[in-house]
Amino acid sequence: MFDAVFLDRDGTLIEDPGYLSDPAEVVLVPGASDAVRILNESGIPVILITNQSGIGRGYYTEADFMAVQAEVERQLAAHGAHLDDVYFCPHDPDRETCACRKPGSALFRLAAREHGLRLHNCLFVGDRARDVVPGIEFGANAILVAGPDGRYDQTAPVGVPRRAAPFEAIREALRTERQLSQPFQIAVFVSGSGTNLQALLDRFPGGAGGDARVSRVIASRPGIGAIARAETAGVPWSVLPAGASPDGLADAMLQELELARADIVVLAGFLKLVPEAVVRTYRGRILNIHPALLPAFGGNGMYGKRVHEAVIRSGARISGATVHVVDEEYDHGAIVAQWPVPVLEGDDADSLAARILTIEHRLLPDVVGAFAAGDVVTDQAGRPEWIRPLYAAERFELGPTIA
């Protein structure tokens, strides 16, 4: 992981009104506190390095800067975040030349000495070319974030990754680093007894070791069987807030997924519609298991026993299980994999459900394992592309288990 992340302040961490000297004008950039908190929880030092030429120009004093900085840190603390250190250049570039004003490297080198950092193994994040150029010179990773108008500093070197906001920049950078050094992390949302969760826990145990693991279980309500399964497996779990507004639910889900460091999200009997903000953030990386062959017998209200009752009423002779990508509608996203199951003479909803469930317990872990192995990927629209086939055989066997 990164030795540290160097953040710019004005325009990156907080809004930049120009020569800020009044603590009352401090406004955190949306998502900035979440970005810092994620780094804190990852054990990565967050070091602020900022040019403050307003001191040298006489627009405000060093004491004014300290007062503003104290308010920045107070607001971060209110969101459970903190900075590990702050360095600033007070010089007026029109009157004096110094090595500490960015893109100069003096303050970065000082931070490296004082914190024992390898500068080539740090991440540099800012909204100006001068914030990221030092990182490039050190051979480190650098990310340019957009200004308040959504535009990027056009003087930044070609090839520097660009992200709309600090939260996106930090999340993507950490995800890339985790792919190199940590197991593939699976977050699972549940609402019931958790038999599909158990299938995932059996295939991808929590704890250390392995190429993939279930890193967190998130329940829609307390007291359900899935929570007991998570506890038995030693996997962290939590419960979403009851009665939350759509925005509140989205915030809570996103926070849980960051705690899970989720590479993929699985709905294993989760009965809530995933908020648009969550779908947007994890587009193409949220999977659902449905007990029928979509697009038939899906949609709002079609879950559990209701699905099998509808299949039998329809006279259909084949049902099955579907793993699909989640989008903004119930059971609507692109199909990733399916397996058919016959509807037998004399079947009722319970007997059909039992046979399909044995398929779900195999199909869902197999698909998740394929994502972890890179055998299937999704594009920006969330459409899957298989690099290697899920099963070697191309012939389906209509039976209670997968051949």
Per-residue pLDDT of 78-91, as tens digits, reads: 999 999 999 999 99
Strand intervals (E) in 128-183: 141-145, 162-163
Q: Judge whether residue 403 has pLDDT over 50.
A: no
Distances (CA, A) of 191 to 67, 135, 219, 224, 375: 47, 45, 6, 7, 29
Q: How many whole angstroms separate alpha carbon 196 and alpha carbon 374?
A: 22
Contacts of 225 (CB under 8 A, 6+ apart): 192, 193, 194
Give pLDDT tens digits for 43-87. Answer: 899 999 999 999 999 999 999 999 999 999 999 999 999 999 999
Q: What average pLDDT score do residues 370-380 get? A: 84
Cis amide bond preceding 295, omega within 30 = yes
Give pLDDT tens digits for 265-322. Answer: 999 999 999 999 899 888 899 999 999 999 999 999 999 999 999 999 999 999 999 9
Look over the chain and give the mean of its residue pLDDT values, rounded to a whole number.
91
Q: Judge whether residue 393 has pLDDT over 70.
A: no
Res. 207 pLDDT band, cuts 50 70 90: low
Q: Are 55 and 69 in contact (CB under 8 A)?
A: no
Where is pLDDT greater, at 202 or 178?
202
Give pLDDT tens digits for 218-231. Answer: 999 999 999 999 99
Residue 60: what pLDDT?
A: 98
pTM: 0.58
Would you call 308 a catalytic residue per the annotation? no
Q: Where are the domains of the chain?
A: 5-177, 181-386
Considering 79, 91, 290, 324, which one is annotated as catalytic?
290
Residue 402: what pLDDT?
A: 41
Q: Judge whether residue 208 has pLDDT over 80.
A: no
Which long-range contacts does 368-377 make (Cβ < 8 Å, 24+ apart)?
Answer: 368/186, 368/200, 368/203, 368/204, 368/212, 368/264, 368/266, 368/287, 369/203, 369/204, 369/212, 371/184, 371/263, 371/264, 371/287, 372/184, 372/186, 372/204, 372/211, 372/212, 372/263, 372/264, 373/211, 376/336
* CATH class of segment(s) 5-177: alpha beta
Superfamily of domain 181-386: Formyl transferase, N-terminal domain (3.40.50.170)
Least confident of 133-142, 186-195, 340-349, 374-383: 374-383
Residue 401: what pLDDT?
A: 44
SS3 content of the chain, % helix, strand, coil (to 5): 35, 20, 45
Matching fold, domains 5-177 and 181-386: yes
Residue 399: what pLDDT?
A: 52
Q: Are 185 and 261 in contact (CB under 8 A)?
A: yes
Q: Judge whether residue 1 has pLDDT over 80.
A: no
Q: Output the six-digit token pair for 10.
A: 């004005």
